[in-house]
Chains A and B, each alone.
Chain A
Amino acid sequence: MTQETGNIITLKNVNKWYGEFHVLKDINLDVKMGEKIVICGPSGSGKSTMIRCINHLEEHQEGDIIVDGVILNNDLKNIGQIRKEVGMVFQHFNLFPHLTVLQNCTLAPIWVKKMPQKEAEKIAMKFLERVKIPDQANKFPGQLSGGQQQRVAIARSLCMNPRVMLFDEPTSALDPEMIKEVLDVMVELAGEGMTMLCVTHEMGFAKKVADRVIFMDAGQIIEENDPESFFNNPQSERTKLFLSQVLGH
Chain B
Amino acid sequence: MSEFVPKPARPAPITEIGAIGWARKNLFSSIPNTVITLLTAYVLWSVLVPFLGWAFVNADWVGSSRADCTSGGACWVFISVRFNLFMYGFYPEDSYWRPNLAFILLIGFLIWLSIPRIPFKKLGAILALTVYPVLAYVLLYGGFGLEVIPTHRWGGLMLTLVLALIGIVVAIPIGVVLALGRRSEMPVIRMVCVIFIEFWRGVPLITILFMASVMLPLFFVGGTDADKLMRALIGIVMFQSAYMAEVVRGGLQALSKGQFEGADALGLSYWQKMFLVVLPQAMKIMIPGIVNTLISLFKDTSLIVIIGLLDILGMVRQALADPAWLGYPAEGYLFVAFMFWIFCFSMSRYSIYLENKLNTGHKR
Q: Which residues of A contact B (CB under 8 A)?
A: 55, 57, 80, 83-84, 86-88, 90, 92-98, 107-108, 111-112, 140-143, 156-157, 160
Contact = CB atoms under 8 A, between A and B. Distances in A.
A108 B266 contact: yes
Interface stretch (B90-98, B207-215, B275-283): B275-283
Interface string B249-277: 00000001011011111111100100011
Given A57-B265, A98-B362, 7 more contacts: A87-B265, A88-B265, A98-B284, A107-B266, A107-B276, A157-B266, A160-B266
A111 B256 CA distance: 22
Contacts, number: 69
B267 A83 contact: yes
Contacts of B269: 80, 112
Contact of A108 (B258, B259, B267, B361): B267
B265 A111 contact: no
B364 interface: yes
A96 B267 contact: no
Interface string B325-364: 0000000000000000000000000000000000001111
A57 to B, nearest CB: 6
B262 A111 contact: no
11 contacts: A57-B265, A80-B269, A83-B265, A90-B258, A90-B262, A90-B265, A96-B281, A97-B363, A107-B277, A108-B268, A111-B272
Given A107-B276, A142-B364, A143-B364, A94 B268 contact: no
B268 A111 contact: yes
Nearest to A95: B262
A94 B262 contact: yes
A90 B261 contact: yes
A98 B263 CA distance: 13
A94 B276 contact: no
B363 A96 contact: no
Nearest to A55: B265
A140 B362 CA distance: 6
Given A107-B276, A111-B272, A156 B266 contact: yes
Contact of A83 (B264, B280, B281, B361): B264
B354 to A, nearest CB: 14
Contacts of A140: 361-363
A160 B262 contact: no
Interface in B191-243: none
Nearest to B363: A142
Interface of B: 256, 258-259, 261-269, 272, 276-277, 280-281, 284, 361-364
A191 to B, nearest CB: 24
Nearest to A58: B261
Contact of A94 (B261, B281, B362, B363): B261
Contacts of B265: 55, 57, 83, 86-88, 90, 94, 157
Given A90-B262, A111-B272, A142-B364, A160 B267 contact: yes
Contact of B264 (A57, A142, A156, A160): A57
Nearest to A107: B276
A212 B202 CA distance: 60
B258 A97 contact: no
B285 to A, nearest CB: 11
A94 B267 contact: no
Contacts of B266: 83, 107-108, 112, 156-157, 160
B271 to A, nearest CB: 10
Contacts of B262: 90, 94-96
A93 B265 CA distance: 12
Contacts of A92: 256, 258
A141 B256 CA distance: 15
A22 B75 CA distance: 79
A140 B262 CA distance: 16
Contacts of A95: 262
B91 to A, nearest CB: 44
B267 A98 contact: no
B298 to A, nearest CB: 29
A41 B361 CA distance: 41
Contacts of B263: 96
B361 to A, nearest CB: 8
A248 B364 CA distance: 39
Contacts of A111: 268, 272, 276
B143 to A, nearest CB: 40
B364 A94 contact: no
A66 to B, nearest CB: 18
Most buried by A among B261, B263, B266, B277: B266
Contacts of A108: 266-268
A143 B267 CA distance: 26
A112 B268 contact: yes
Most buried by A among B256, B259, B276, B280: B276
A96 B258 CA distance: 9
Nearest to B262: A94
Contacts of A80: 267, 269
